[in-house]
Structure 1
Amino acid sequence: MRLRNTRVAAAFASAALVVAAGVATTDAVAAPAACATRVNNNIPLLLECMDLTGVREHQSALQAIADANGSTRVSGSPGYNASVDYVEARVKAAGWKVTRQAFDFQTFVSLTPSVLAQVSPPPAGPLAHSIMSYSGSADVTAAVSTPSGDARGCSASDWAGFPAGNIALVSRGTPVGFPVACTFALKAENARAAGAVGIVIYNNVDGPLNGTLGATYTADFPAVGITQALGLQLAATPGLVLRLKTDTLRGTATTYNVLAELPGKNTKNVVMAGAHLDSVNAGPGINDNGSGSAALVELAENLSKVKPQNTIRLAWWGAEESNLVGSTYYVNNLSQAELDRIALYLNFDMIGSPNHVFFIYDGDDSDAVGAGAGPAGSAQIEKTFEAYFTSRGLPFKGTDFSGRSDYGPFIASGVPSGGLFTGAEGIKTTEEATLWGGTAGQAYDPCYHQACDTYANNNDTALAENSDAVAYATLSYAMSTNLINGTKSKGNFRPPVDREHAPATS
């Protein structure tokens, strides 16, 4: 990817939407003027035209949309609908066939800022916290108690003798051997059944806790998350009284997936790449996930004149932040024949985190962490991304298929999957800081699910390299999925090493 100072604007761009401040131009190299018209049908041509300035332009547009719509692009809101309009118009102008897929979901909006404050003992004052998505509404001031059994509060027996009318303080996590995942919703329901008037859940690792009770949670019960350090401090405070206030709206709303298709010579073999377009209620979501969304728009504009061997289908998912609703709706409404046409799915969620690591989804479970391997073919996808970073002389690291992004429903349906990630609320280790720079002991994205996830919340190096990796993998598979399902292109296309970006040799 080259940086450049100017680019050909697509039909939808306007001065009102494009916020240029902060775009990196130091040592910029102008991409060829031919990028506006040429056929980028091989890796060197495509990477020459993939443009950080272009990706940042799309993020600027999403920031301007959020600025005009209450600083959010949450699904079901005017800000999200305007984001859909932007993506649809840009990709249509590039010549792709674009459709909207409407679906209903349970929306969640925090109407006024939530409050968590220490009332006593002194010093009294507000406490840092995050409201749990799908929290109910309440304004309560009460003494605080922890479960009498396990501090995680996963079993009804943990709540024996809990003082009715108190606020519950519990730890995140699931005990070893517990038969199901101990979700935030399960903790909240156990607390409510025990007579609690609200729940404060503290993290079990460093960093803030940004959680959800899930779209099916309907009890009018307030829930917030706090750091592990604050939770342990509060648990050790005698005579603790807190005020907990939440003011929320939950209800059915209509929102959209955006789907764009570039037909290939083989229409029965579809290569999919996707990114969620929605933000959380708290902020504009320009890294989460304006980064992946913007990279896909830039990719669409640079692939528009290519006639691929396999059909390319790009997706911008709605309501991902409401528990993968959009991608799940899409997969569940495919016929088996349509599902069988999808050779693989590539997911790009948060690819420009300020304190980044180059994470690749662990398709073969070689890291032996968390969930197992993805469906057959996922290991090959992981190797494809590894090949890109190796060609650039960049270190990379596996990350688990934790189920937190839109690959989830594809994996559940047996579709080979993979993708890229630069980290969210997890804490960067000393070893990672040595490899990738940044700051050990801080979150990969300090603004994850917060109001500060703005245009400024970005690392240019991470976004540029990952946008190129998005292009590298997508075009490689658009030309041949032989590694995945044995479907070859004419000439048996192989992605060459990008000589401009290849590591130096002695």
Structure 2
Amino acid sequence: MRPSWALTLSPALLSQVHGLQIPFFGSTTPQAPISNAAKELVSSDALQAHVDAANLLNRAKILYEIAELGFDEYNHPTRVIGSKGHLGTIDYIYSTIAALGDYYSITNQSFPAVTGNVFESRLVLGHAVPESARPMGLTPATSSREPVYGSVVAVANFGCELSDYPSDLEGGIAFISRGQCPFGTKSDLAGKAGAIAAVVYNNEKGDLSGTLGTPTPDHVATWGLSDRDAAPVLEKLHNGEKIDAIAYMDAIVDTISTTNIIAQTTAGDPDNCVMLGAHSDSVAEGPGINDDGSGTLTLLELATALTHYNVNNCVRFAWWAGEEEGLLGSEYYVSVLESSENKKIRLFMDYDMLASPNYAYQVYNATNAANPVGSEQLRDLYVDFYEEHGLNYTFIPFDGRSDYVGFIQNGIPGGGIATGAEGVKTEEEQAMFGGTAGDWYDPCYHQYCDTVDNVDLDAWEWNTKLVAHSIATYARSFDGFPERDLAVNTFATSDWKYYGHSLQI
């Protein structure tokens, strides 16, 4: 039965899909099932042999055309949740897996998701229009979506207690330091204290953008501001000078329904599952071919290749919706798992941004000391692969930036690899990986230009081979991998700086 969210894709797009032998609903007959018992047991070398950069590139071209379905509403290609581009992405994933016959069982998991969009914003502080001012994710609009006027009022400490907000803030614009508590808490308290808008400024070097997270009735229109643009404002306020300000935000925050897709092998021990995931959505600003089209398509390519083999342990693929809105799909998935189902997941592997054009091979530094036991063994599997193939790698913080968060919080070992987002490549990394020191790993991160031209095919192919290696290793055996300990089933991650790709503190 065709899911209610499915789209009818264009004949031109379907013809490309047919050329790749990736059928959609009604386009071809699903492949005839072959008995799993007659297939050879999957091995790392065999699964890696299916990986071809040309196939990944062809899939990327299809995904970009799907993103163009969002053009009418957003005036550019996008796969943000709620858009036709994201509905088309879900359709593409589901159709591809469904066409593989009975090798997988497929689950469509719908859930409510909070989404937001900023159509226009402007912030004037005194006589200055700070270039670094950025609306926070999930910020509400200013009153009546009109400009509001008030004085800038400094908030004491870090603005994490209502007592930090002075009595003269009523009708003013709260000026709050970053630190100690989430941005959403600061915005909420500012609203409770009577502020008409809020600015959170960076107390470290650089610009500041983030998310308010789960909406509250007291959130006010909120911007992030760099330390550079905050400095003259703070100096004037310290000297007792009055600063008049204008704030304008035209934005919406809404709740919609969206869908995770879960595909699990029908063969293999269902009580011992290796699970891996990527997010199917992009940000509103662009088509998201690297972020995270690269992860989405890697999983789709390998899910197709795996059908040639038998497995000892079940393999569960997941395509999450709403990651860009704050890890919504993955966290929902884990939150509704019963304890017995949680235990069946021996580990979770996160694959988000595998093809950045100015890449570094990055491994999440997930240790057993700070995470569920088994996370470090997975980390070492990635390290061993890079070393065995003469490839350099670097460790990056395991700090809440992607869909592993809900799994770690609920006692499931996790980890993953990436190739970098808005971080700046160092001179040392240029020597290790090539590329350009001083530039972002992905110069088109969260932008319109994250297109098919924004992927490095060599990095993508090597990382897809590594994902294949991780699947095959654990689909064959968990020998030597730590057993799950349900006595230790929660891990605190509240001090992580990130909630998905957005800063939260």
TM-score normalised to structure 2 length: 0.79
Cα-to-partner distance string for 1:384-435 (whole Å, 9 max, x where unaligned): 0111111121222222321232111211221111111222333333333332
1:43 partner letter = S
Give 1:165 deviation, angstroms: 2.7
Cα-to-partner distance string for 1:459-500 (whole Å, 9 max, x where unaligned): 33332222211111111111111132479xxxxxxxxxxxxx
In structure 2, C-alpha distance between the alignment counterparts of 1:227 and 1:303, rounded to whole Å: 47
| Aligned residue pairs, count | 442
**Matching residue of 2:22:** 11
Kindly indicate whether residue 173 of structure 2 is the aligned counterpart of residue 167 of structure 1.
yes
Kindly indicate whether residue 159 of structure 2 is the aligned counterpart of residue 153 of structure 1.
yes
Whether contact under 8 Å (1:144, 1:166) holds in the other structure is: yes
Is the partner of 1:49 in helix, strand or coil? coil
Give 1:336 deviation, angstroms: 1.9
Give 1:133 deviation, angstroms: 2.0
Kindly indicate whether residue 493 of structure 2 is the aligned counterpart of residue 459 of structure 1.
no
**Matching residue of 1:275:** 278
Is the partner of 1:281 in helix, strand or coil? coil
Kindly indicate whether residue 323 of structure 2 is the aligned counterpart of residue 320 of structure 1.
yes
Give 1:184 deviation, angstroms: 0.6
Off by >4 Å, runs of 4+ in structure 1? 204-208, 233-242
In structure 2, C-alpha distance between the alignment counterparts of 1:484 and 1:325, rounded to whole Å: 29
2:343 partner letter = D
Aligned pairs (5 A) from 1:111-190: 112=119, 114-118=120-124, 120-121=126-127, 127-138=131-142, 139-142=146-149, 145=152, 147-150=154-157, 152-160=158-166, 162-174=168-180, 182-190=181-189
CA 210–92 in structure 1, closer or farther in 2 if over 3 Å, else same? farther
Whether contact under 8 Å (2:153, 2:169) holds in the other structure is: no
CA 170–61 in structure 1, closer or farther in 2 if over 3 Å, else same? farther
Aligned pairs (5 A) from 1:235-250: 235-236=234-235, 241-250=244-253
Stretch of structure 1 that moved more, 192-201 or 304-313: 192-201
2:22 partner letter = A
Is the partner of 2:481 in helix, strand or coil? helix
Whether contact under 8 Å (2:110, 2:259) holds in the other structure is: yes
Give 1:266 deviation, angstroms: 2.2
Give 1:119 deviation, angstroms: 6.8
In structure 2, C-alpha distance between the alignment counterparts of 1:469 and 1:47, rounded to whole Å: 8
Gaps of 5+ in 2: 1-16, 26-38, 485-505
CA 72–280 in structure 1, closer or farther in 2 if over 3 Å, else same? same
Q: Larger % of helix: which?
A: 2
CA 346–137 in structure 1, closer or farther in 2 if over 3 Å, else same? same
Whether contact under 8 Å (2:198, 2:223) holds in the other structure is: yes
Whether contact under 8 Å (2:287, 2:450) holds in the other structure is: yes
Cα-to-partner distance string for 1:248-283 (whole Å, 9 max, x where unaligned): 232331111101112334232111011111122232
In structure 2, C-alpha distance between the alignment counterparts of 1:7 and 1:465, rounded to whole Å: 26
1:290 partner letter = G
Stretch of structure 1 that moved more, 465-474 or 64-73: 64-73
CA 88–321 in structure 1, closer or farther in 2 if over 3 Å, else same? same
Gaps of 5+ in 1: 1-5, 15-37, 175-181, 366-371, 488-506
Whether contact under 8 Å (1:101, 1:258) holds in the other structure is: yes
Whether contact under 8 Å (1:308, 1:479) holds in the other structure is: yes
CA RMSD of aligned residues (A): 2.9
Give 1:74 deviation, angstroms: 1.9
2:259 to 232, 256, 261: 256
Give 1:207 deviation, angstroms: 5.0
Whether contact under 8 Å (1:380, 1:483) holds in the other structure is: no
2:397 to 400, 420, 434: 400
**Matching residue of 1:232:** 231
Give 1:143 deviation, angstroms: 5.2
CA 279–307 in structure 1, closer or farther in 2 if over 3 Å, else same? same
Is the partner of 2:250 in helix, strand or coil? strand
Whether contact under 8 Å (1:262, 1:312) holds in the other structure is: yes
In structure 2, C-alpha distance between the alignment counterparts of 1:412 and 1:451, rounded to whole Å: 33
Whether contact under 8 Å (1:75, 1:107) holds in the other structure is: no
Stretch of structure 1 that moved more, 412-421 or 238-247: 238-247
Aligned pairs (5 A) from 1:406-445: 406-445=403-442
CA 162–357 in structure 1, closer or farther in 2 if over 3 Å, else same? farther
CA 228–66 in structure 1, closer or farther in 2 if over 3 Å, else same? farther
1:191 partner letter = A
**Matching residue of 1:344:** 347
Whether contact under 8 Å (2:152, 2:245) holds in the other structure is: no
CA 376–111 in structure 1, closer or farther in 2 if over 3 Å, else same? closer
CA 160–474 in structure 1, closer or farther in 2 if over 3 Å, else same? same
TM-score normalised to structure 1 length: 0.79
CA 338–163 in structure 1, closer or farther in 2 if over 3 Å, else same? closer
In structure 1, C-alpha distance between the alignment counterparts of 2:221 and 2:433, rounded to whole Å: 39
Kindly indicate whether residue 319 of structure 2 is the aligned counterpart of residue 286 of structure 1.
no
Give 1:213 deviation, angstroms: 0.9
CA 117–221 in structure 1, closer or farther in 2 if over 3 Å, else same? closer
Is the partner of 2:175 in helix, strand or coil? strand
Is the partner of 1:255 in helix, strand or coil? strand
**Matching residue of 1:42:** 43
Give 1:86 deviation, angstroms: 0.5
**Matching residue of 2:64:** 63
In structure 2, C-alpha distance between the alignment counterparts of 1:271 and 1:233, rounded to whole Å: 53
Kindly indicate whether residue 82 of structure 2 is the aligned counterpart of residue 76 of structure 1.
yes
**Matching residue of 1:25:** none
In structure 1, C-alpha distance between the alignment counterparts of 2:215 and 2:110, rounded to whole Å: 16
Stretch of structure 1 that moved more, 78-87 or 126-135: 126-135
Whether contact under 8 Å (1:198, 1:244) holds in the other structure is: yes
Whether contact under 8 Å (2:24, 2:99) holds in the other structure is: no
2:255 partner letter = T
Give 1:146 deviation, angstroms: 5.2
In structure 1, C-alpha distance between the alignment counterparts of 2:290 and 2:231, rounded to whole Å: 30
In structure 1, C-alpha distance between the alignment counterparts of 2:105 and 2:87, rounded to whole Å: 15
Q: Percent identity?
A: 33
Kindly indicate whether residue 424 of structure 2 is the aligned counterpart of residue 449 of structure 1.
no
Whether contact under 8 Å (1:377, 1:417) holds in the other structure is: yes
In structure 1, C-alpha distance between the alignment counterparts of 2:93 and 2:179, rounded to whole Å: 38
